Amino acid sequence: MTVTLADVAARARVSPATVSRVLNGNYPVAEATRERVLQAVDELDYVLNGPASSLAAATSDLVGILVNDIADPFFGIMAGAAQSAIGSTASGRAGGEKLAVVCNTGGSPERELMYLTLLQRQRAAAVVLTGGSYESPEHSAATAAKLARLAEAGTRVVLCGRPPVPGDGTAATLAFDNRSGARQLTEHLLSLGHRRIGYITGPDGYTTTRHRLEGHRAALAAAGLDDAPTVHGPYERAAGYEAARELLRRDPDLTAIVGASDTVALGACAALRDLGLSIPGDVSVTGFDDLPFAIDTAPSLTTVRLPLQEAGHRAGLLAMGTEDVPPGTVTTIGAELMVRGSTAAPRG
C-alpha cells in the first residue's frame, strides 16, 4: 500500500542502500544515480518511514521543548525562538530537518517526567527544558535520573532559564540569575524613593519563586526595611489580579507593586485599573512584544524589564546543538516592576 524505500530502489534500478545514501546525503553517490533516485522519489511521492529510520539509526530527528505554560507568551517566545533556531530551512520538501515540538507540562512535575519519558521513548535527538522547576527531593532525584538516562542514550539535554540539576554534569545550562535580577528590580524601586512595596510571588515550591523573592528581600534588607507585604499565587493573570487587590487591602498606602512574572504583573495592572487607580494604558502588555526595550515609561507607570529575549535566542542556538554558549552562562530574568504614582516619585 505505502511506498517503501525498496520501491524507490526498484524504480531507480539501484539498491536500497543507494537510495538510503542519496536520501541521507552522507555518502558519495554518482550524480547520475542521485538524480535517478530523486526522480523516482518524486514520481512515487515517497516519504521516509521515520520509525524505521529511527530504529535502524538508533536516533530520531525529534527535538522536544518543554514549557510550563504554553498559553503564557513568555514561554511562547522562548519556544518560538528555540524552534526557529532548530528548524533551519523553511524549504518545502522536508529533508534532514529536525522536528522541533513543544510540550506543555502545565508546571506539573509529573507531566514533566511523563514528557521526558515519552521523548526518551522516541529516542529524541534533544530535549530543552525551560523555565523554573519544582523543588522537592523526590522530583529532583527523579529528574536527575531521567536526564542522565537521556544523556547516556545520546539525547542532548539543554536547560534554559532553569537552574542546573543537582548531580548532573551532562546538560548544557543557560541559567537566569533570578536572585540578582529581582534584587535589581527592587533596588530600582528603592532608588526612586519607594518605601512601601508590595510583592506578588509565583507558585510555592518553584525555583523561580524562591530565588526572586530572596532577591527582593535582600534588597529590602539592605535598605533597612522590614519585609513588605507579600502575596503568594501561581504564575497566572487571575492570581496577579487577586493578589494586587489583597495587597492594597492590607496596605492601602503601597506605592509600588512587584510581580514575580509578566503574567502576574498583567493581572495586577488590571486590578489597579478596576480599583480606579489611574494607569494610562496596557503597559505591561507592551512589554510582551517589546522585550528588547530595557525600560518602557508611561505617564504614571514605569516598567523595567531586564533583557529576556536575548536569553531566548541564545537558548534557541543552544538547542540547535551549537555550543558557543558555555554551560553555566548567567543572564537576568525578564521580571517586571510597576511603580504607581508619577514616573519616579511615590505618592504621599
Partner DNA sequence: TTGAAAGCGTTACCAC
Partner DNA sequence: GTGGTAACGCTTTCAA
- In the region spanning residues 24 to 83, those forming contacts with DNA, defined by CB under 7 A, are 24, 26-30, 32-34, 46, 48-49, 52-53, 55-58
The dihedrals phi and psi of 241, each to the nearest 5 degrees, come to: -65, -55
Q: Which stretch binds a copy of itself (CB under 8 A): 107-115, 159-167, 184-192, 325-333?
A: 107-115
Q: Which stretch binds DNA (CB under 7 A): 2-10, 77-85, 249-257, 326-334?
A: 2-10
Is position 45 an interface residue for a copy of itself (rule: CB under 8 A)? Answer: yes
Is position 137 an interface residue for a copy of itself (rule: CB under 8 A)? Answer: no
Residues 251-287 as b/e (b if ≥16 CB within 10 A, e otherwise) read eeebbbbbbbbbbbbbbbbbbbeeeeeebeeebbeeb
Q: What type of residue sits at position 62?
A: L
Q: Which stretch binds a copy of itself (CB under 8 A): 9-17, 103-111, 208-216, 334-342?
A: 103-111
Q: Tell me whether strands 172-176 and 156-160 are parallel, antiparallel or unpaired.
A: parallel
Is residue 82 helix, strand or coil?
helix
Out of 10, 11, 13, 105, which residue is the one contacting DNA (CB under 7 A)?
13
Cell of 211: 530565588
Using the Cα atoms of residue 282, residue 286, residue 287 and residue 293 in order, give the sign of their dihedral. Answer: negative
Chain centroid to Cα 281, Å, comes to 27
Instruction: Using only the alpha carbons of the chain, give its radius of gyration.
Output: 25
Residue 91 interacting partner from DNA, a copy of itself, none (CB closer than 5 to 8 Å by kind): a copy of itself
Please report where in the chains the cell 530535549 appears, as a residue: 127
Out of 11, 20, 102, 263, which residue is the one contacting DNA (CB under 7 A)?
20
Query: How many residues does this entry show for the chain?
Result: 348
Cell of 93: 520538501
Q: Which is nearer to a copy of itself, 33 or 54 (CB)?
A: 54
Element (H, E) at 238: helix 237-250
Please report where in the chains the cell 542532548 appears, as a residue: 156
- In the region spanning residues 227 to 286, those forming contacts with a copy of itself, defined by CB under 8 A, are 236-238, 266-267, 269-270, 272-274, 279-286
Is position 76 an interface residue for a copy of itself (rule: CB under 8 A)? Answer: yes
Q: Which is nearer to a copy of itself, 206 or 288 (CB)?
A: 288
Tell the smallest beta-carbon distance from residue 59 to a copy of itself (Å): 9
Site residues for DNA per CB under 7 A: 2, 4-6, 13-18, 20-21, 23-24, 26-30, 32-34, 46, 48-49, 52-53, 55-58
